[in-house]
């Protein structure tokens, strides 16, 4: 009797051992789900690779508060200017891919600098995970009220009458404003002197002060001065007139046919950031940008709301690199 019970117990125990691996495998996904770390559990840093006061800064601050509300953790805007945007961008490329460091991506830093600078220190395709687009912003040709020219044709004429003497202000080397000025110089066939500043804010101050007569820059930091008539807009570099300034002509209408320069802004994370975090951020970002409040704020800052998937943003980066990186290579531009 005891022997039969013992054998039955042994057989039951062996069956249990055989079944255990399958049971463990079945339970593993559920166990992994319950033990996966929550995100986010602390504040997130959104790096803007330019000083405060420019278009990049404006775009970042528009979405930061809304992202904070949706994520339940504060999104802190961190301005890390310098090196034409390379310093802050490089810092994010080297950050831990844990979802706690993000980058305000911009056409200049992502699609221009890797070709323009001898050593930007990052590869936009290998070092970043695109999250999504959030806005576009046309570059504008701005002027001090004392400048006599009223159209782009007037600016071209003035440049040709006195080669090398017309100074054109831009934001830092490699930014959208700077590259627009280079594109203008090549397209119009003029000899002008480019005057790059460390950021859009200092450039605007000198433009208002009359230290440079004209400048290429985004509209966001100029709108207050435009309203106060301490600056005026000669033309916008988009295909269509800008809704906030419907009286301002496009470059095509103002004397430079086919000329266009529109900057794109988006969010990126370091390469290797877990896909669930990228997907969640994209979903939240799209919802934020599509809200009436944020649409209105982006337009009030001189931009146009945009949304995309991570894959669409990656394709946009490629297209913009072909345009602007191609210009860099064609003109033989290089910054050490």
Give the CATH number of the domain where residue 119 resides. Answer: 3.40.190.150
Give the pLDDT score at 34: 38
Does residue 28 fall inside a structural domain?
no
**How high is the pLDDT of residue 37?**
64
Give pLDDT, residue 17.
Answer: 39
**0.75 exceeded by pTM:** yes
| pLDDT of 88 | 96
pLDDT tens digit string along 265-319? 999 999 999 999 999 999 999 999 999 999 999 998 888 999 999 999 999 999 9
The pLDDT of residue 133: 98
Of 272, 314, 279, nearest to 95 (Cα)? 272
> What's the whole-number average pLDDT of the chain?
88
Residue 316's Cβ-side half-sphere holds a number of Cα atoms within 13 Å equal to 26
Close Cβ partners of 18 (under 8 Å, ≥ 6 residues apart):
none
Same domain, 67 and 166: no
Is residue 103 within 8 A of residue 44, CB to CB? The reply is no
Are 326 and 224 in a shared domain? no
- In a shared domain, residues 166 and 213: yes
Q: Distance of alpha carbon 167 from its chain centroid, rounded? A: 27
Query: In the predicted model, what is the mean pLDDT of residues 96-125?
Result: 93
What range defines the domain where residue 203 resides?
138-254
Structure tokens at 137: 């912003």
Query: Which of residues 127 and 22 earns the better pLDDT score?
Result: 127
The answer to whether the beta carbons of residues 208 and 225 sit under 8 Å apart is yes
Number of domains forming the structure of the chain: 2
Per cent of the chain over pLDDT 70 is 89
Q: What is the DSSP letter of 223?
A: H
- Higher-confidence residue of 11 and 255: namely 255
For residue 205, the surrounding DSSP H or E stretch is helix 200-208
Tell whether 173 is covered by a domain.
yes
Same domain, residue pair 172 and 234: yes
Same domain? 232 vs 86: no
For residues 132 and 271, membership in a common domain is answered with yes
Query: How many CA atoms does the CB half-sphere of 277 hold within 13 Å?
Result: 23
Tokens representing 50? 């330019």
Same domain, 101 and 125: yes
| pLDDT tens sequence across 243-269 | 889 999 999 999 999 999 999 999 999
The span from the CA of 321 to the CA of 176, in Å, is 12
The percentage of the chain sitting over the pLDDT mark of 90, rounded to a whole number, equals 71
CA separation for the pair 121, 328 (Å, rounded): 17
């Amino acid at each position: 009797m005891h022997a039969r019970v013992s054998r039955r117990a042994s057989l039951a125990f062996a069956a249990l051992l055989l079944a255990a691996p399958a049971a463990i495998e079945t339970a593993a996904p559920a166990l992994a789900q319950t033990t996966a770390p929550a995100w986010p559990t602390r504040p997130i840093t959104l790096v803007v690779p330019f000083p405060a006061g420019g278009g990049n800064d404006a775009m970042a601050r528009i979405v930061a508060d809304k992202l904070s509300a949706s994520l339940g953790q504060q999104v802190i805007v961190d301005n890390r200017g310098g090196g034409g945007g390379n310093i802050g961008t490089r810092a994010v490329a080297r950050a831990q891919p844990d979802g706690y460091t993000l980058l305000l991506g911009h056409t200049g830093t992502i699609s221009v600098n890797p070709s323009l600078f001898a050593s930007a220190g990052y590869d936009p395709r290998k070092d970043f995970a695109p999250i999504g687009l959030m806005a576009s912003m046309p570059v504008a040709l701005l002027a001090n009220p004392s400048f006599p020219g009223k159209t782009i044709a007037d600016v071209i004429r003035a440049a040709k009458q006195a080669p090398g003497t017309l100074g054109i202000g831009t934001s830092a080397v490699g930014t959208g404003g700077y590259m627009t000025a280079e594109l203008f110089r090549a397209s119009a066939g003029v000899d002008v002197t480019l005057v790059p500043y460390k950021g859009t804010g200092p450039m605007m101050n000198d433009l208002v002060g009359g230290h440079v007569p004209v400048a290429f820059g985004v509209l966001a930091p100029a709108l207050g001065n435009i309203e106060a008539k301490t600056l005026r807009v000669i033309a916008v570099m988009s295909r269509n007139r800008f809704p906030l300034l419907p009286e301002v002509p496009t470059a095509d209408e103002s004397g430079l046919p086919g000329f266009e320069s529109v900057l794109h802004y988006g969010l990126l994370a370091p390469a290797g950031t877990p896909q669930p975090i990228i997907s969640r951020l994209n979903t939240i970002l799209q919802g934020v940008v599509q809200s009436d409040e944020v649409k209105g704020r982006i337009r009030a800052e001189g931009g146009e709301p945009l949304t995309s998937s991570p894959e669409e943003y990656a394709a946009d980066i490629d297209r913009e690199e072909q345009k602007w990186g191609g210009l860099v290579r064609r003109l033989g531009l290089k910054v050490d």
